[in-house]
A and B are shown apart, each in its own frame.
Chain A
């Protein structure tokens, strides 16, 4: 097994222990907040499938989410934010762009503005959710149910999860291929895979870990996502990380008519996840400022 994936796994496990209270929780770590107008040195893009929780993740990082806040909604456009990371006495300014997940005019525009040609983020936070994507429209939920039904499958949460995981891999393959072929994000230096909504499947976190983190020990049974991540590691010099995350307490319904799934963590455990995620982000952003390795393939 390559060292990098050993490290990623051990970091994943240490986060799990911290959340479960088996190890001392770390302090507040890095704090993110909205920034004003100014020069940005750290362009960051947040990517991922529709309904994976990209906007909610950003809001959680800048602590814009409070208990009792209303339900999230679909983002209708590109979201560009200036953010300040405070860590000790150091302040790092960053422009964070949330790229819409839907194949759309707005997504194309965002990709052109932030990733194509001379434009490139230094870091990408790719948001995944182990098949717990939200389908916004009732009509589309009916379509998914019909298609799964005509394939002779039982329409249950596993079938819907598999549906979303397939879409997630197709989307990630597209991103990885374009990064490797240097069609996108030519100045990219790091990527974090945020395995979000982990509070919904905390009891199956091992499965999610084995799905997202490559493992040479299980050669031949590696997940399609793991294969792509390994390709990215082999073909580029990017710094990579895979981190469990949960942005807020949520209830999730795979499809109308299927049972609702509720959060298995509490607010403070979600706070611990957020702290570790912020620390990872801080580590990549700060080390990049201090001259960390670059990601040109």
Chain B
């Protein structure tokens, strides 16, 4: 990244970090959705063995058919779980980690240079407060993401 010690470059870097923060939050929300889907698939896979019992007593028919239905349901649920994990959640998590790392690297530099740039560029109180507020929206490295 280019030098950030003059106002326009500093503010551009802050804009870019905010875009990254929005992207990270969006991926974070998507990951929550994937986690819910995986939990639902796991519940279906766990409940599938009870299907033959339920089918034979409530609907009737042969045990073999119901066992087959139960096996197919469990396999389908496990396949869905694995697909969500491998094809959706893992790439999203990798992307989020990468974006978050880049964002925090930039933000840590901005935090260190903030007081210096504000003084050197003679920012007025309102611009200084506004930049401080914008920096306050970023998490600390290693901290929990809200």
Please list the residues of chain A having a beta carbon within 8 angstroms of any beta carbon in chain B.
Answer: 50, 74-77, 100, 102-109, 135-137, 139-140, 143-144, 146-147, 150, 163, 166-167, 170-171
Give Cα distance in the complex from A109 to B139, angstroms.
Answer: 11
Contacts known (A74-B142, A146-B3, A146-B5); A103 close to B132, Cβ less than 8 A: yes
Please list the residues of chain B having a beta carbon within 8 angstroms of any beta carbon in chain A.
Answer: 3-5, 105, 108-109, 111-116, 118-119, 132, 135-144, 146
A144 to chain B, nearest CB (A): 7
Within 8 Å CB of B3, what residues of A? 143, 146-147, 150
Within 8 Å CB of B135, what residues of A? 103-104
Q: State whether B139 touches A105 (Cβ < 8 A).
A: yes
Contacts known (A77-B144, A104-B143); A147 close to B136, Cβ less than 8 A: no
Nearest chain B residue, comparing its CB with the CB of A78? B143
Within 8 Å CB of A143, what residues of B? 3-5, 109, 112-113
B32 to chain A, nearest CB (A): 18
- Picked from A106, A139, A140, A150, the residue with its CB within 8 Å of the CB of B140 is A106
Nearest chain B residue, comparing its CB with the CB of A133? B112
- Picked from B119, B137, B141, the residue with its CB within 8 Å of the CB of A76 is B141
A99 to chain B, nearest CB (A): 12
Nearest chain A residue, comparing its CB with the CB of B134? A103
Q: State whether B140 touches A100 (Cβ < 8 A).
A: yes
Nearest 7 interchain pairs by C-beta: A76-B142, A76-B143, A103-B135, A170-B115, A147-B5, A167-B115, A104-B140
Contacts known (A103-B132, A104-B135, A150-B5); A77 close to B108, Cβ less than 8 A: no
Nearest chain B residue, comparing its CB with the CB of A168? B115
Contacts known (A103-B114, A103-B132, A147-B113); A139 close to B105, Cβ less than 8 A: yes
Within 8 Å CB of A171, what residues of B? 115
Q: State whether B142 touches A104 (Cβ < 8 A).
A: no
Within 8 Å CB of B105, what residues of A? 137, 139
- Picked from A75, A104, A135, the residue with its CB within 8 Å of the CB of B138 is A104
Within 8 Å CB of A144, what residues of B? 112
Within 8 Å CB of A77, what residues of B? 140, 143-144
Q: State whether A139 touches B108 (Cβ < 8 A).
A: yes
- Picked from A100, A140, A150, the residue with its CB within 8 Å of the CB of B108 is A140
Q: State whether B140 touches A135 (Cβ < 8 A).
A: no
Within 8 Å CB of A150, what residues of B? 3, 5
Q: State whether A103 touches B111 (Cβ < 8 A).
A: yes
Give Cα distance in the complex from A166 to B118, angstroms.
Answer: 12
Q: State whether B136 touches A104 (Cβ < 8 A).
A: yes
Q: State whether B146 touches A74 (Cβ < 8 A).
A: no
A240 to chain B, nearest CB (A): 24
Give Cα distance in the complex from A75 to B118, angstroms.
Answer: 26
Can you list 19 A-B contacts with CB-CB less than 8 angstroms, sorted by A residue number? A76-B140, A76-B142, A77-B140, A103-B111, A104-B138, A105-B138, A106-B143, A109-B146, A137-B108, A137-B109, A139-B108, A143-B5, A143-B109, A143-B112, A144-B112, A166-B115, A166-B116, A166-B119, A170-B119
Q: State whether A140 touches B112 (Cβ < 8 A).
A: yes
- Picked from A76, A104, A107, A163, the residue with its CB within 8 Å of the CB of B116 is A163
